[in-house]
Amino acid sequence: MLDLLKAAFTAGTIVAIYRVGVAAFFTPATRWEDRVLASLIRLSLAFCIALAGGVLFVWPSRRNPDRGKPFLTALPVQMLLWASVLMTILFVASLYLTCGENGWAHPNCLNCS
């Protein structure tokens, strides 16, 4: 039963990370502030799912082969941390690239959509 829950929470983490990426990059006709807010809301849900999955991965049970390992080495937690860092870098790079020739120096950079 524990293995099925691990698989379910890992799949749930993947779906939640996917939803964060969709909210950050593929929401048409929205300002970047709205995309950041929607992404943060979905990221908080993804953190909840990943943390619950991480607890299951390090659950102190005799049948659990991963018991006693550090919490941050659990698969859902690592997936979420890596995806969050990479999506943040990509989002900042996309803001920079869409704001004109000079990037952040463009006068209307924060008004880009």
pLDDT digits (tens, 9 = 90+) for 34-49: 888 888 999 999 999 9
Provide the residue range defining the domain that includes 6.
1-63+73-101
Q: Which of 28-32, 70-74, 96-100 has the lowest mean pLDDT?
A: 96-100
pLDDT of residue 101: 54
Total domains in the fold of the chain: 1
Q: For 55-79, write each residue's pLDDT tens digit.
A: 888 888 787 777 778 889 889 999 9
Structural Rg of the chain based on CA atoms:
18
Question: Could you tell me where the DSSP H helices lie in the chain?
Answer: 2-25, 32-57, 75-98
State how far the alpha carbon of 110 is from the alpha carbons of 23, 47, 97, in Å: 18, 28, 12
Q: Are 76 and 49 in contact (CB under 8 A)?
A: yes
What are the structure tokens assigned to 87, written together? 């999506």
